[in-house]
Amino acid sequence: MKAFIKGFGYAFKGIAYGIVNERNFRFHMSIFVYMMFFPLRYDFFEVSRAEFAVLLMMSSLVMAGELLNSGIENAANAATLERDKFVKIAKDTAAGGVLVLAIFSVLVGVVILLQPLAFQKLFAYFAANPLYIAVLALSLALDAVFIFAGPKKIYNFLRGKKND
């Protein structure tokens, strides 16, 4: 039982590693948060429970794929030199797998969320609430910093430390 519980700890460490060290993982997490916010918080989009479950599943597959890709890349780098033909193949195919998941996730999202009336309601809502446009813009700017700088650099910046 102890080993089983320890396994969860290792898994959470892997997720934390992805958040701290992997820009693409942070990007997919951010897209997920924005995509889930509007269907959950407001009645702009008509999404059935089954469609919502599909959106969750596709998002989780992309994020899991990113973590698996990171694991493969790190293991391959540790095992041999970058110039090794098989390491390159492993890394390229793992990255390609994530790209396939991401493309099909976008397609699934478009099929489910492409609702012109919902977008009209969304734009009307923001037009009627200009403060929310500023809040959205600020959240997008903060999100870009999170994605591209990462939590480690943000933390060091806030503490006045120089980043490596």
Q: Cα separation of 161 and 99, whole Å?
A: 35
Q: Which residues make Cβ contacts (< 8 Å) with residue 148, sequence separation at least 6? A: 23
Greatest Cα-to-Cα distance within the chain, rounded to the nearest angstrom: 58
Q: Is 16 exposed, middle or buried (0-12, 13-18, 19+ CB in 10 A)?
A: exposed
Annotation says 66 is catalytic = yes
Q: Using an 8 Å Cβ cutoff, are 45 and 113 in contact?
A: yes
Q: Using an 8 Å Cβ cutoff, are 146 and 30 in contact?
A: yes
Place of tokens 């903060």: 142
Please identify which of the residues 22, 46, 51, 66 carries the catalytic annotation.
66
Q: Cα separation of 67 and 93, whole Å?
A: 14
Q: Using an 8 Å Cβ cutoff, are 91 and 76 in contact?
A: yes
Residues with a known catalytic role = 66
